[in-house]
């Protein structure tokens, strides 16, 4: 129930250099959360990315199936001509 910013700051305060936060609803493939400032006036200094629940679930499931504690994840850029705010989906969903 804490904000995206609060989650990001916890990772930053524990030495994280970046964070990927996924929705915990494994079947969520369309509902985005607000990744904007909360009302606390705090900031974060590390990159933070939100994944839909379905995408986060697929990464976690792959790690578990292969018995891996971590992975290097390459997040593609939007190579379509459609702006991401119009697609309302991350670009990799369509690949």
Left if phi > 0, otherwise alpha if psi is -120 to 50, otherwise beta: which for 27? alpha
| Distance in angstroms (rounded) separating the CA atoms of residues 15 and 26 | 27
What string of pLDDT tens digits covers the 95 residues of the chain? 688 888 899 999 999 998 888 887 777 766 666 665 677 888 889 988 888 888 888 888 999 999 999 888 776 665 566 666 676 666 556 55
The length of the chain in residues reads: 95
């Amino acid at each position: 129930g804490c904000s995206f910013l609060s989650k990001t700051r916890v990772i930053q305060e524990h030495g994280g250099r970046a964070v990927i936060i996924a929705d915990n609803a494994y079947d969520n493939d369309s509902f985005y959360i607000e990744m904007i400032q909360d009302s606390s006036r705090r900031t974060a200094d590390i990159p933070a990315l939100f994944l839909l629940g379905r995408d986060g679930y697929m990464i976690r499931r792959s790690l578990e199936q292969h018995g891996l504690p971590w992975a290097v994840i390459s997040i593609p850029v939007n190579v379509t001509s459609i702006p991401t705010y119009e697609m309302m989906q991350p670009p990799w969903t369509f690949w």
